[in-house]
């Protein structure tokens, strides 16, 4: 470390060493209280877990607190999430499966789509960045000719967290019966009406002088709802979407609703799985990850006996690199995604790299220069967040660097999102979920 940087950190170190064990203990409890309060809304971990951690901390049982945090972090990272997509053949199920995974229809692990593709058996598609998240492409109930109960048994209904029922026209009696049985079995379902883009296009072509987009959308919605009424079902919420243009219409609302409804312990992983189609979606991911790395660092801080200000270990360095790669993948700012996005935008990849920052974060020639960069960040954060450090929380410094990486990657994702949507003004086609995940 440069002498100058070391001198900058001395006051902070002085404060840290001057804290008495009792003060440190109080600081731990009050810092965790802040997290607990914010967790009421974000629900990163369960309330039982936050209460247990607080109790352990109040009693000074660091080991106990540590064990609960470890288990809670493991639970929210390892928990499986299974989403079932069902509907008639040709309704856009497989397209929606690809959309939810942020995968291009033509990529080799995509669900095959097209008018001739009929799903006869259920097919599973793992999320490319989150191995615990699986989207299931189910055969339409009409294709199987089974009554709803038998159909659900056949497709192993217990395995799914919720169902998305897709139609490109009106929802049929079959869909409505299926939804009733899903409800009886205590699971959630969501009606998604696809292909609204082509309905709008057709209407515009047929009635160019009287065409009104909002009116057509209202008509589609009413048409679907009337059918539910006619079949004696309480009108459900219907999401009008286009798999070809996700940020438009109700797809963002569908994401919000699903996030709200999904069980608390699955919310983190589900949030991370969703495509980066709007700034709000990017922000939501950032917030969830920020809380996660805070808790991880808090746990690390509990284990440390003294603030390890002197060195960034090889292990820390590995973790930092892994974090950066993980963030880049989740926000579609990794090398491969940038290449694919550049191809879609028909620009050289260097042009995209020139307007974002994260690809250059670790572009250093050797370990020594990398360390210098890290220390630059540490110094910056310690001077800004000195108060936080002086609370006696021995957060490893990598927390600050992880946060810096996360902020950089999310800012990059937003810059690229703007680039992507600016092409709406050009003649290029609308961005797909795969495009957005490639930012």
**Binding residues for ligand GDP (CB under 6 A):** 87, 89-95, 113-115, 117, 194-195, 197-198, 242-244
Write down the least CB distance from residue 146 to ligand GDP, Å. Answer: 18
As a whole number of angstroms, the distance between CA 300 and CA 318 comes to 16
Write down the least CB distance from residue 162 to ligand GDP, Å. Answer: 18
> Of 88-96, 186-194, 232-240, 247-255, which part binds Mg ion (CB under 5 A)?
88-96
Nearer to ligand GDP, 243 or 437 (CB): 243
**Residue-by-residue DSSP string for 386-433:** HHHHTTT----THHHHHHHHHHHHHHHHHHHHHHHHHGGGSSSPPP-H
Q: Which does 115 bind (CB under 5 to 8 A by kind): Mg ion, ligand GDP, none?
A: ligand GDP
Tokens of 39: 């967790």
- 10 Å Cβ neighbour count for 122? 16
Nearer to Mg ion, 119 or 288 (CB): 119
Q: Which does 213 bind (CB under 5 to 8 A by kind): Mg ion, ligand GDP, none?
A: none
Nearer to Mg ion, 94 or 278 (CB): 94
Residue 119 interacts with Mg ion (CB under 5 A): yes or no: yes
Residue with smallest beta-carbon separation from ligand GDP: 92
Q: Pseudo-torsion of CA 246, 252, 254, 258, nearest 10°?
A: 120
As a whole number of angstroms, the distance between CA 19 and CA 27 comes to 10
Nearer to Mg ion, 90 or 392 (CB): 90
Out of 31, 94, 174, 410, point to the residue binding Mg ion (CB under 5 A): 94
Nearer to ligand GDP, 101 or 286 (CB): 101
Angle in degrees, 0-180, between the axes of helices 314-330 and 367-384, rounded to the nearest 10: 80
- Is there a contact between 133 and 160 (Cβ–Cβ < 8 Å)? no
Q: Which does 92 bind (CB under 5 to 8 A by kind): Mg ion, ligand GDP, none?
A: ligand GDP
Nearer to ligand GDP, 231 or 245 (CB): 245
As a whole number of angstroms, the distance between CA 177 and CA 422 comes to 43
- Is there a contact between 398 and 294 (Cβ–Cβ < 8 Å)? no
Q: Which does 114 bind (CB under 5 to 8 A by kind): Mg ion, ligand GDP, none?
A: ligand GDP
Write down the least CB distance from residue 432 to Mg ion, Å. Answer: 16
Instruction: Name the residue among 358, 360, 365, 356 with its Cα closest to residue 402.
Output: 358
Write down the least CB distance from residue 196 to ligand GDP, Å. Answer: 7
**Binding positions for Mg ion, 98-117, rule CB under 5 A:** 117
Write down the least CB distance from residue 91 to Mg ion, Å. Answer: 9
As a whole number of angstroms, the distance between CA 138 and CA 119 comes to 7
Question: What 3-state DSSP class applies to 119?
Answer: coil
Nearer to ligand GDP, 76 or 166 (CB): 166
- 10 Å Cβ neighbour count for 42? 17
Q: Which residues in this chain contact Mg ion in the complex, by CB under 5 A?
A: 94, 117, 119
């Amino acid at each position: 470390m440069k002498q100058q940087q070391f001198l900058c950190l001395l006051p902070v170190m002085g404060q840290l060493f001057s804290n008495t064990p009792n003060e440190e203990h109080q600081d731990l409890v009050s810092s965790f209280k802040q997290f607990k309060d914010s967790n009421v809304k974000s629900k990163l971990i369960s309330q039982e877990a936050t209460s247990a951690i607080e109790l352990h901390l109040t009693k000074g049982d660091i080991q106990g607190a540590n064990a609960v945090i470890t288990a809670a972090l493991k639970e929210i990272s390892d928990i499986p999430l299974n989403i079932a997509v069902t509907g008639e053949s040709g309704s856009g199920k497989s397209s929606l499966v690809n959309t939810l995974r942020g995968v291009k229809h033509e990529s080799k692990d995509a669900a095959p789509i097209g008018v001739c593709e009929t799903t006869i058996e259920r097919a599973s598609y793992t999320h490319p960045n989150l191995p615990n998240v699986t989207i299931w492409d189910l055969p339409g109930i009409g294709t199987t000719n089974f009554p709803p109960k038998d159909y659900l048994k056949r497709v192993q209904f217990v395995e799914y967290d919720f169902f998305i029922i897709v139609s490109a026209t009106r929802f049929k009696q079959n869909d409505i019966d299926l939804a009733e049985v899903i409800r009886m079995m205590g699971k959630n379902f969501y009606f998604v009406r696809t292909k609204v883009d082509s309905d709008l296009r057709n209407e515009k072509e047929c009635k160019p002088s009287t065409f009104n987009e909002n009116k057509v959308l209202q008509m589609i919605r009413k048409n679907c709802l009337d059918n539910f009424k006619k079949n004696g079902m309480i009108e459900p919420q219907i999401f009008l979407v286009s798999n070809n243009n996700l940020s438009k219409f109700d797809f963002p609302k569908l994401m919000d609703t699903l996030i709200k409804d999904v069980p608390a312990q699955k919310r983190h992983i589900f949030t991370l799985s969703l495509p980066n189609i709007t700034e709000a979606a990017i922000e939501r991911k950032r917030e969830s990850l920020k809380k996660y790395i805070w808790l991880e660092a808090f746990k690390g801080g509990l284990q440390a006996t003294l603030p390890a200000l002197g060195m960034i270990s090889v292990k820390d360095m590995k973790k930092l690199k892994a974090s950066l790669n993980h963030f880049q993948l989740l926000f579609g700012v990794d090398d491969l995604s940038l290449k694919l996005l550049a191809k879609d935008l028909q620009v050289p990849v260097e042009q995209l790299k020139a307007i974002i920052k994260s690809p250059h974060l670790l572009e250093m020639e050797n370990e020594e220069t990398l360390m210098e960069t890290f220390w630059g960040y540490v110094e910056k954060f310690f001077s800004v967040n000195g108060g936080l450090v002086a609370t006696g929380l021995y957060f490893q410094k990598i927390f600050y660097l992880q946060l810096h990486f996360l902020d950089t990657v999310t800012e990059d994702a937003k810059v690229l999102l703007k680039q992507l949507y600016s092409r709406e003004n050009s003649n290029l086609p609308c961005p797909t979920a795969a495009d957005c995940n490639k930012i």
